[in-house]
Amino acid sequence: MPTLRSLYCSAAFLLSAILLFGFNAVGQQAQVSSNSPSPVHPTAEQDHRIALTFDDLPVHGPLPQGLTREDIANSIIHALKSADAPPIYGFVNATWLKSDPSTAQVLQLWRNAGFPLGNHTFSHMDPNTNSLEAFEKNILDDEPTLKKFMDGQDWHWLRFPYLHEGETPEKHHAIMDFLKLHNYRVAQITLSFGDYNYNEPYARCLAKNDQPAIEQLKQSYLDGANEQLTDGPKLANLIYGRDIKHIMLLHIGGFETVMLPKLLELLRQRGWNLITLPDATSDPVYASDPELPTYGGTFLQQVMNARHITPPPPTGGSKLNLDAICR
Ligand SMILES: [Zn+2]
């Protein structure tokens, strides 16, 4: 039986593959070597705006050897602060605080940095495979932790686990009614390169001290990020005739301690400015809720599905086999 996470990864990977490979020819021109500390992008791009978001606080993926959960949080916070990032939302599964109270320290570090927290459900529950009532309860069960750590500030943002928003229109609209009643806004995403897929391979490769393989992981991560930064604005233009304010899905995983500074440098090089999630979501495109037979995937993917827009055909290209590396 595949696990929920593996199902998510499969589904998310397929979506990512459509987005990643769609404009691969351009993306490949934009590749940045992980060996180069100052990647130079060949095309001058103007004024893209992006909100970074981090899911699965306080625990995501395996711990690479030598690191604690606090180390990962501190590293991510330090990288964001060094890049003058605005307040960055972290989406919480409070179940971890019940099973291991020490993980609360990750939330405290996030708050000490001035970064806000949002709801990712108590136990990372999939709304598509659980009842409406169970899903709503799981949202509510996350709230005491958010209230405690946000200390009077607003935390009414939901990031759907697995990016699933209900497997039928009826369930989706019931969830959206519930969220509206409880004053939530949905933290959509437009950009994901499957950063969550790198944490297990990284932990394996680090345990084997396989440095060439780790270099491959770094390059693959940057290739994926580069393609998304190329494809996102192109898809937005295809749908809306203009670029939009983007939102990127990231996770609080071990490989970000290595890659987040490189990702932030890539964003800077390519002319992407960091904005807050509320600012990004103020783009009027997010006010629409596309009518779909089933809800999931990135916001742009959903809108393309609703409007029957065919994404550009995949152009392929060799990708690292993350499941096989360092076995
Ligand atoms: Zn998650």
Is 173's pLDDT higher than 70?
Answer: yes
CA of 120 to the centre of ligand 1 (A): 7
Contact between residue 73 and residue 58 where contact means Cβ atoms under 8 Å apart: yes
Answer whether residue 28 is part of any domain.
no
Is residue 209 in some structural domain?
Answer: yes
**What spacing in Å lies between the alpha carbon of 38 and ligand 1's midpoint?**
31
Would residue 12 count as lying in a domain?
A: no
CA of residue 46 to ligand 1 center, whole Å: 31
Neighbours of 271 (CB within 10 A): 15
Dump pLDDT digits (tens) for 104-149: 999 999 999 999 999 999 999 999 999 999 999 999 999 999 999 9
Q: Is this structure's pTM higher than 0.95?
A: no
Ligand 1: centre distance to CA 35 (Å): 30
In the predicted structure, residue 88 carries a pLDDT above the cut 70: yes
Structural domain including 87 reads 44-306
At 319 the pLDDT is 80
Q: What is the CATH number of the domain that holds 270?
A: 3.20.20.370
Q: How do residues 28-50 score in pLDDT, each as one tens digit?
A: 333 333 344 444 444 445 689 99
Give the mean pLDDT of 273-299. Answer: 93
Sign of CA dihedral 151, 54, 187, 174: negative
- Whole-number pLDDT of residue 34: 38
Residue pLDDT, tens place only, 210-236: 999 999 999 999 999 999 999 999 999
| Mean pLDDT, rounded, for 192-217 | 97
Instruction: Name residues whose C-beta falls within 8 Å of residue 67's C-beta, 6 or more positions apart in sequence.
Output: 254, 257
DSSP string across 56-67: EES--SPPPTT-
Please count the structural domains in the chain: 1
Is the peptide bond between 58 and the residue preceding it cis, with omega within 30 degrees of 0? yes
pLDDT value for 293: 83
Expressed in angstroms and rounded, the spacing between residue 284 Cα and the centre of ligand 1 is 25
